[in-house]
Structure 1
């Protein structure tokens, strides 16, 4: 009986901590101070046409940026669907938001493969980019994002990639002005982003 009471107490305590942690994140997310990302203004990556493009010159008043990889089984497809849904949900304002998928798996994610991959998602605004590992590592670091190759012999290529799962809103001044969890619903994303348009 004591074990059951202790279990319930720990469960309630854990849920409480999670709730207050979420509230803390929400308050920070809504009042985030803009963070200038110099790497965004100077770095270039390859698009799906194998052309080098400077990130700071990508059109759109705002960019919605996600770091992931095409072989990701769940979180990446979900994030890209939500990004596309946010653009659609914004209606005419959607033209001012450019969704960007940056691969953290350059070994497998060639421009050609990414070109095929992003066709699975609705809309035609999604941009997919890749580049050499050192450049990608530097860019991720600037965003406070990380990724790590993990051995998985049962999978294609023998590995997977663990990575940060966040969506970043970047403005025309190359600043991160908001950050959201990668599983944020497209409608909620649109509502949040509308404040900046």
Structure 2
């Protein structure tokens, strides 16, 4: 359910983001929820070995950021792995290099990933495959948070660009320049 408070759309009963975690970004810098303070966030959980689901939202986010141009500079765009066994700092650096330069990849120990996922209310699980390997099931939405850490809304996997970009513009209170 949505409500309008001070011209900013937020979810009713959506608590501010809060989770005590420390992860490492794709450049080797330690990150925590403090890195979100005062900035809008687009957050997506996934993993680098994902064959088709994860690259799609990250490609979508890259295209959305291109639409915003310099206005995208004030936004944190974070890709947090749900597969810390394989997604090292180096693997994350390589993977995010294929997307918009604003996309940051975060990894860390399994317990810290779990804390972050719990804070974002993301679910994930390791699924063994017939080949003896594994894959990861996970929440596949992009989460849009305002500068106070409150959820402004999800952007669903495969949500059409003509809906996603105006949703972000409205949340960020950026006037629409032209139809998408």
TM interval, short-chain normalised: 0.7 to 0.9
Number of residues of Structure 1 aligned to a counterpart in Structure 2: 166
CA distance in 2, matches of 1:185, 1:104: 25
Mean CA deviation greater in 27-36 or 108-117:
27-36
CA distance in 2, matches of 1:96, 1:58: 11
Task: Please provide the CA RMSD for this pair.
Answer: 2.2
CA distance in 1, matches of 2:78, 2:167: 17
Report SS of the residue matched to 1:102: strand
Is 1:172 the counterpart of 2:166? The answer is no
Is 1:35 the counterpart of 2:2? The answer is no
Larger Rg: 1
1:79–1:182: 8 Å Cα contact kept in structure 2?
A: yes
CA distance in 2, matches of 1:110, 1:153: 25
Matches within 5 A, 1:45-60: 45-58=23-36
Report SS of the residue matched to 2:97: helix
CA distance in 1, matches of 2:53, 2:2: 23
Higher share of residues assigned helix: 1
CA distance in 1, matches of 2:60, 2:22: 25
CA distance in 2, matches of 1:38, 1:60: 14
2:38–2:148: 8 Å Cα contact kept in structure 1?
A: no
Deviations 1:151-174 (A, max 9, x none): 01437xx11001111111122212
1:118–1:126: 8 Å Cα contact kept in structure 2?
A: yes
Is 1:99 the counterpart of 2:106? The answer is no
Q: Are the structure 2 counterparts of residues 173 and 28 from structure 1 closer, same or farther at C-alpha, using a change threshold of 3 Å?
A: closer
TM-score, length basis structure 1: 0.76
